[in-house]
Amino acid sequence: MGRYYSGDIEGKFAFTIQSSDAADRFGVIGKPPEYLEYNYYKDDLEELQKELKHIEDTFGPQKQALKIYFDLYKTQDDAPLSFDSYIKENGLPELTKSQLSEYYDYLLGRKILECIQETGSCSFDAEL
């Protein structure tokens, strides 16, 4: 069982780690009742980039590994190993549960950013 989001971007929320309203932190509040509806536009880019930078800064020594890993694999599905395994292999400290949650939010935020940059907007529904 999992919770998904779909529309201009698609994916699955991290089980027990990531909330359905994770996209709220990037400047647009989801609209319930059955699903959270998100509509991002170019006007939202500044807030989105600011929050992505904030997340990057929470990673401390893993910050550079986070950026490299994301640039290499884009999504967890493309990766031959998890981010947690990747940082262990590179001799960095293990992720805390909080950092792992931040990592999944970062992936979502980057998907939203790339969608806006490519199409000018990004709309999707998130299951509650």
Judged against a pLDDT cut of 80, whether residue 24 lies above it is answered with yes
- Return the pLDDT at 22: 95
For the segment 42-60, the average pLDDT, to the nearest whole number, is 93
Please, are residues 58 and 102 in contact by the beta-carbon 8 Å criterion? yes
For the segment 3-30, the average pLDDT, to the nearest whole number, is 92
Element (H, E) at 40: strand 35-41
pLDDT tens-digit profile of 102-112?
A: 888 988 999 99
- Return the pLDDT at 36: 92
pLDDT tens-digit profile of 58-105?
A: 888 778 877 787 777 766 666 777 777 877 887 878 778 888 888 889
CA dihedral sign of residues 86, 71, 29, 6 = negative
Q: What is the pTM of this model?
A: 0.74
Residues 6+ apart with CB under 8 A from 65: 59, 83, 86, 87, 90, 92
Q: Chain-wide mean pLDDT for the chain?
A: 87
- Return the pLDDT at 75: 61
